[in-house]
Amino acid sequence: MTLLAAVDLGASSGRVMAAHVRGDRIDLTETARFPNRAVNVRGRLYWDVLGLWSGILEGLRAAGDAAAIGVDSWAVDYGLIGHDGHLAANPVCYRDNRNAAAKTKALEQVGAADLFAATGIQPQPFNTIFQLAAETASAHRALLIPDLIGYWLSGVPAWEATNASTTGLIDLATGDWSADLAGRLGLDLGLLGPVTPTGTVLGPVLPEVAAATGLALSAKVVATASHDTAAAVAAVPYEGDRAAYISCGTWSLVGVERDEPITGVAALEAGFTNERGADGSIRFLRNVAGLWLLSESVIAWRAQGLDIELAALLAEAAKAERLRSVVDPDDGRFADPGDMPARIRAYCAETGQPIPESPVEVAACVLDSLALAHRRAVAALEELTGEAVETIHIVGGGANNALLCQLTADATGRPVLAGPDEATALGNALVQAQALGLIAPGPAARRAVARASARPRRFDPRGPETPWGSAAARFPTCVA
């Protein structure tokens, strides 16, 4: 048995998992979980990266004698490092409003279709390329969040490939930073170092980290699949070929794995992106606003003094009238933090639907809407790839939301296989295990271990899709 530590940072919480590699399976135990939420200071939305760092050290201390550590997190955000090697500015959250104007300006210089053809990445305001265009602080290096944590752990700067792909600055043809795009947008490529292959062993932990955590000085830091979605996709326990995944948490990332990107205008307009997978494959997927709508609603209700317990709320929402009112979760008004129930009510009023009043009605509306958005994304996937999707794997925290899994099966008319809920941490650990030679290389060996480590729960569609088809007509078929 070998112990690995998987540090997994999400937009609403971070955790450290102890991963026990036992031959053909990996068992995970949580050693620390700590909240994460963007903090608004003078109108700028920051991450509390130092709070995350404290939580990580605590989790590593509790994890025991790990042979290696890998870090994954949400994509696109970065920390700036000065010439002295220290943090030069606090990382800004991708939901900060500085990005929209920078995107508009950048797209005037490089058209959306050209940008998409060159990088395969859907132009979204939060892409690093637009954030760097909006950046006012100067620095020596920019490190994406997991690479920043990896640097603090090991002293070695890295630009891990799966997460680097989400920046929107990687040339699809070369897999390297695009000097052409950087030149046209006036971005300083000197902030970025060589792209680090996924699974690179960066080096041992720094002595100060060993002292603070009790880790051995020989414990290695591995550049795992550091984009959380790439890590989750690396752990999907596929059983057949024609399967799509939904990596479901703050976002629902709905996609398939492919050998080749799809960069035509149809994919651009349908909101799809081509991110890099752990083995250099393409994760062809669409960002659907996920359980963010529900988690922000819960925060708003609790701030109003309501006593909300999520499991009880979902149990009631399961009994509510279905498809009473639906919103398009990808409507821009839902992207910023804030009073989500009020925005949902405003949307329903504007579209002439019954207005969800109680938390149960709002939760039912959100879950029906997410299931519909999943249906829309799966339909677009089939159309764009020309391949049928027969099964849907829901992985990540959303796999624990039985109502969402069932509604997704109902809305898509496909069986849903739910789990593992900790797919991200599992994928993180699987890639580390391969880097250390504990598991044979390649996706097939990794999938076999993923299957042995998790048994998905099956949800079959309960009836005809017809009501979902009619409800789907209530919001547009594709919104970028």
- The residues facing 253 across adjacent strands are 247, 287
Please report how close the Cβ of residue 95 comes to ligand LRH at its closest, in angstroms. 9
**Residue 287 touches ligand LRH, criterion: CB under 6 A:** yes
Residue 27 burial by Cβ neighbours in a 10 Å radius (0-12, 13-18, 19+)? middle
Q: Which stretch binds ligand LRH (CB under 6 A): 33-41, 191-199, 225-233, 369-377?
A: 225-233
Spatial contact of 9 and 72, defined as CB atoms under 8 Å apart = yes
Please report how close the Cβ of residue 268 comes to ligand LRH at its closest, in angstroms. 16
Please report how close the Cβ of residue 47 comes to ligand LRH at its closest, in angstroms. 12
**Residue 229 touches ligand LRH, criterion: CB under 6 A:** yes
**Residue 252 touches ligand LRH, criterion: CB under 6 A:** no
Could you tell me whether strands 2-9 and 68-73 are parallel, antiparallel, or unpaired per DSSP bridges?
A: parallel
What phi and psi, each to the nearest 5 degrees, are found at residue 197?
Answer: -60, 140
Of the two residues 273 and 325, which places its CB atom closer to ligand LRH in the complex? 273
The single residue among 154, 178, 250, 401 that binds ligand LRH, judged by CB under 6 A, is 250
**Residue 253 touches ligand LRH, criterion: CB under 6 A:** yes
CA–CA distance, 369 with 297 (Å, rounded to integer): 14
Residue 478 burial by Cβ neighbours in a 10 Å radius (0-12, 13-18, 19+)? middle
Please report how close the Cβ of residue 220 comes to ligand LRH at its closest, in angstroms. 24
**Residue 127 touches ligand LRH, criterion: CB under 6 A:** no
Spatial contact of 46 and 23, defined as CB atoms under 8 Å apart = no
Considering only residues 130 to 189 of the shown chain, the ones binding ligand LRH according to CB under 6 A are none
Is the torsion defined by CA of 98, 101, 107, 112 positive or negative?
positive
Please report how close the Cβ of residue 5 comes to ligand LRH at its closest, in angstroms. 20
Angle at 303 between CA 299 and CA 308, to 5 degrees: 60
CA–CA distance, 178 with 172 (Å, rounded to integer): 9
Please report how close the Cβ of residue 100 comes to ligand LRH at its closest, in angstroms. 15
CA–CA distance, 213 with 87 (Å, rounded to integer): 21
- Work out the number of other CB atoms within 10 angstroms of the CB of residue 457: 15
Angle at 144 between CA 139 and CA 149, to 5 degrees: 100
Of the two residues 250 and 453, which places its CB atom closer to ligand LRH in the complex? 250
Of the two residues 18 and 145, which places its CB atom closer to ligand LRH in the complex? 145
**Residue 78 touches ligand LRH, criterion: CB under 6 A:** no
Question: In angstroms, how far is CA 269 from the centroid of its own chain?
Answer: 21
Of the two residues 110 and 145, which places its CB atom closer to ligand LRH in the complex? 145
**Residue 74 touches ligand LRH, criterion: CB under 6 A:** yes
Any catalytic annotation for residue 228?
yes
Of the two residues 68 and 291, which places its CB atom closer to ligand LRH in the complex? 291
**Residue 76 touches ligand LRH, criterion: CB under 6 A:** yes
Q: Which of 8, 72, 228, 368 is catalytic?
A: 228
The single residue among 94, 301, 347, 475 that binds ligand LRH, judged by CB under 6 A, is 94
* Active site residues per annotation: 228
Chain residues in the site for ligand LRH (CB under 6 A): 10-11, 74-76, 94, 126, 227-229, 250-251, 253, 287
